[in-house]
């Protein structure tokens, strides 16, 4: 066979493949369908439970069985995604109306995960059975082949209310994401009925029924005026606050009790909130907190913050709103699959999509039911007619040689071959014209059907069938009748499954609090050689002075309201607020300086650490490896940014020394090849921080400055050089930019 090579542009193949992949993720994985509000994995899981018969009034079944069956038949994308979808559908703190009834540990609002699927059990909720799966046997939706074409699955479930709004949805696809908040079932049903009565109703009109999101966690939506635009455009931000109650505590103290949390705080963010509140106390943002306790249980959320007697409670609560996630934002993006493609939808569009779908489902449902009733009518009429001439039919049956002969007589009036007892019977038999279905029903009829009561029951059943036919035809022919049927079903769902609203909708003023000024005081900054930093009060330092000086690389006094300045070999200056550094006991470990600053210990080396206060009072001497040097006024480093360039460096150069100028008379530059250059500090010019500086000494081709020493009152006059003492005072005092003196060890 001759080999066939197809040449194509690589970029075109990549583009087509990526688009196919993206559409697969968007349509088949991440985004919900606007008609039933379900993602494919949710729909397949619910349908599989329905197929397994795990109904709301039946015993629970192991989650592992449900997950395995769903994965094997409909969703071959891994058991973790299926189980996660199952878990979320059971969680009443995430879903406005849970669709699965879970038995066992399915996680909690504080972020603890569900137990393994082999331990938990589940079954369908009643609302799921009645409002999503009840009519699947009536050909109301299309069934499509599964992934290997061995099974059939519904393309969409016949949801009887806008589930997309009631339960909301969150998902991330390729290049797009959906984020729809949950709403109150009763309000959504009322809005749906209002739309069905008046399709020209506006979003504003629908909002008379749908007041806003109704989060399962309660809380307070504080930007009511923004909701109209959000529901009109399908995008926006909803600001949510937790519910705060004030209670009297012991000893005249006040307890701030949080009984409802913002919806975005679900999970690990509760722990983050507790840590943030504790941090407010640790960083002295507030001195009012006495104790924090999380007393939440199955009964609900209860976070208690105990305050001092004289605390300004309103100011403290406002601080929680501003500094923690007790006030949070829910980003709305009402993106769903509509008409086979992703679309950002308004409130009215979501309701319209579901209503149109319900009319389509109702049409198919009642068309199927009408066909069944018409078939029943045909049979019933045939049996009633047969009962009126039962003697003739019995004579035909007794005189026929086989079933085919009797059937031919009943349908076509053929009497050839049939032995009749009376000649009149043959004439009457020739006039029979039952339909084929009626003839089969007559031939299958049992003798007890000839009892008088059975005949009366048949006539009554026929009357009921005729009433159903008239009713179904009326529903199918008149849109008003179908609308009334749909609205009646909505009323039944509302009556059975609705609950009071949990989330309060209002306009609230922005939280404003007065930040109490921290009392300025001296603290001692300590940093060990591993980069762990902390601050202690001066009294603690004096008690442990010897140990502190021995164990730490940098020790100095600074103001608690000031900043710490870190100079690095790359010429950068990183600043850290002293308030961000842990303040506590001498034996506390502290915190890595990398965690609270932009300093990166893997990419740069710390040259000097000092306080902003000291820099403002003095000047600073910079020396680089290529012997470039300058003096800079320390005030230039009083900057607002966390990181700035402290000096300008030439190519392949780095800073080797940064020292505050405080009493030094002479400077001594030491090179790697053993040259020493000593000259007066006053020969170093003062420059701006953006300048390169001047040359301090002439270096050999491969030589560089290794160390910098100073002489003067209070500075060491002797250093170790090649393990031998070297008195700096004995070095010859020269000029700047000289070659220096070679010192041999």
Q: How far apart are CA 165 and CA 185, in angstroms?
A: 8
* DSSP 8-state code for residue 663: S
Q: How far apart are CA 167 and CA 32, in angstroms?
A: 11
CA angle 630, 634, 640 (to 5 degrees): 125
Q: Of all residues in the chain, what percent are helix, strand and coil, respectively (each to 5)?
A: 40, 25, 35
* DSSP 8-state code for residue 29: I
Q: How far apart are CA 363 and CA 440, in angstroms?
A: 30
Cβ-in-10-Å burial (0-12, 13-18, 19+) of 666 comes to buried
Q: How far apart are CA 531 and CA 534, in angstroms?
A: 10
* DSSP 8-state code for residue 686: B
Active site residue 209: no
Biggest distance spanned by C-alpha atoms of the chain: 154
CA dihedral 618, 623, 628, 631 (to 10 degrees): 0
Q: Where are the beta strands (DSSP E) in 463-604?
A: 504-505, 522-527, 532-537, 554-559, 563-568, 572-577, 591-592
Q: How far apart are CA 39 and CA 460, in angstroms?
A: 46
Cβ-in-10-Å burial (0-12, 13-18, 19+) of 700 comes to exposed
Token look-up 């300048």 returns: 691
The DSSP H or E segment spanning 244 is strand 243-248
Indicate if the alpha-carbon torsion angle 395, 396, 401, 407 is positive or negative. negative
DSSP line for 399-453? H-SSHHHHHHHHHH---TTPPPSSHHHHHHHTT----HHHHHHHHH--GGGGSHH
The DSSP H or E segment spanning 235 is strand 235-241
**Given the residues 10, 60, 74, 119, the one annotated as active site:** 119
Q: How far apart are CA 319 and CA 277, in angstroms?
A: 10
Q: How far apart are CA 543 and CA 537, in angstroms?
A: 10
Structure token pair of residue 101: 């009834």
CA distances from residue 439 to 405, 407, 411, 425 in whole angstroms, order as listed: 12, 6, 7, 18
Active-site residue numbers?
Answer: 119
């Amino acid at each position: 066979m001759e080999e066939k090579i197809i040449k194509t542009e690589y970029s075109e193949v990549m583009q087509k493949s990526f688009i196919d992949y993206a559409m697969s993720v968007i349509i088949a994985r991440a985004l919900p369908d606007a008609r039933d509000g379900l993602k494919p994995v949710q729909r397949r899981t619910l349908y599989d439970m329905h197929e397994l018969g795990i109904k709301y009034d039946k015993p629970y079944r192991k989650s592992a069985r449900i997950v395995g069956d769903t994965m094997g038949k409909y969703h071959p994308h891994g058991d973790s995604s299926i189980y996660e979808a199952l878990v979320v559908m059971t969680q009443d703190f995430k879903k406005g109306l849970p669709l699965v009834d879970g038995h066992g540990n399915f996680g909690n609002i504080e972020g603890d995960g569900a137990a393994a699927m082999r331990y938990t059990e589940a079954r369908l909720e009643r609302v799921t059975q009645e409002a999503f799966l009840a009519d699947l046997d009536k050909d109301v939706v299309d069934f499509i082949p599964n992934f290997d074409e061995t099974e059939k699955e519904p393309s969409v479930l016949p949801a009887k209310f806008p589930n997309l709004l009631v339960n909301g949805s969150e998902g991330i696809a390729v290049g797009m994401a959906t984020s729809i908040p949950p709403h109150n079932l009763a309000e959504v049903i009322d809005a749906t009925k209002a739309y069905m009565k008046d399709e020209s109703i506006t979003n504003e009109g629908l909002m008379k029924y749908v007041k806003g999101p109704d989060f399962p966690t309660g809380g307070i939506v504080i930007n009511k005026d923004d909701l109209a635009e959000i529901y009109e455009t399908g995008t926006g931000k909803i600001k949510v606050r937790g519910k705060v109650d004030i209670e009297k505590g012991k000893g005249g103290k006040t307890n701030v009790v949080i009984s409802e949390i913002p919806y975005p705080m679900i999970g690990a963010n509760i722990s983050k909130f507790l840590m943030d509140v504790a941090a407010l106390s640790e960083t002295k943002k507030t001195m009012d907190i006495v104790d924090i306790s999380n007393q939440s249980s199955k009964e609900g959320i209860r976070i208690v913050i105990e305050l001092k007697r004289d605390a300004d409670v309103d100011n403290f609560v406002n601080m929680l709103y501003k500094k923690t996630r007790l006030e949070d934002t829910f980003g709305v993006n009402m993106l769903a699959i509509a008409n086979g493609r992703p679309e950002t939808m308004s409130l009215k569009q979501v309701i319209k999509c579901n209503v149109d779908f319900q009319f389509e489902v109702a049409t198919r449902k009642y068309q199927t039911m009408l066909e069944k009733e018409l078939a029943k009518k045909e049979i019933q009429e045939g049996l009633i007619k047969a009962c009126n001439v039962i003697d003739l039919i019995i004579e035909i049956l007794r005189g026929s040689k086989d079933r085919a002969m009797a059937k031919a007589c009943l349908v076509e009036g053929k009497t050839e071959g049939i032995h009749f007892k009376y000649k009149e019977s043959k004439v009457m038999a020739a006039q029979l014209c039952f339909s084929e279905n009626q003839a089969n029903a007559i031939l299958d009829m049992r003798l007890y059907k000839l009892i008088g009561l059975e005949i009366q029951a048949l006539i009554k059943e026929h009357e009921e069938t005729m009433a159903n036919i008239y009713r179904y035809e009326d529903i199918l022919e008149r849109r008003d009748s179908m609308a009334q049927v749909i609205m009646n079903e909505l009323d039944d769902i509302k009556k059975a499954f609705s609950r009071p609203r949990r989330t309060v909708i209002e306009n609230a003023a922005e939280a404003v609090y007065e930040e109490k000024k921290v009392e300025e005081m001296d603290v001692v900054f300590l940093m060990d050689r591993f980069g762990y930093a902390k601050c202690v009060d001066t009294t603690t330092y004096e008690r442990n002075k010897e140990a502190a000086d021995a164990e730490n690389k940098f020790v100095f006094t600074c103001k608690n309201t000031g900043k710490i300045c870190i100079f690095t070999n790359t010429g950068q200056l990183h600043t850290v607020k002293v308030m961000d550094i842990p303040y506590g006991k001498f034996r506390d470990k502290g915190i890595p300086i990398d965690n609270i600053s932009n300093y990166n210990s893997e990419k740069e080396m710390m040259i000097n650490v000092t306080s902003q206060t000291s820099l403002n009072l003095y000047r600073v001497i910079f020396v680089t490896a290529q012997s470039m040097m300058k003096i800079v006024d320390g005030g230039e480093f009083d900057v607002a940014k966390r990181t700035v360039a402290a000096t300008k460096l030439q190519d392949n150069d780095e800073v080797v020394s940064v020292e505050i100028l405080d009493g030094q008379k002479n400077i001594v530059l030491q090179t790697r090849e053993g040259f020493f250059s000593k000259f007066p500090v006053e020969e170093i010019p003062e420059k701006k921080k953006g300048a390169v500086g001047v040359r301090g000494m002439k270096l050999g081709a491969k030589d560089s400055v290794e160390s910098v020493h100073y002489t003067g009152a209070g500075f060491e006059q002797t250093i170790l050089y090649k393990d031998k003492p070297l008195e700096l005072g004995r070095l010859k005092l020269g000029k700047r930019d000289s070659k220096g003196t070679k010192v041999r060890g």
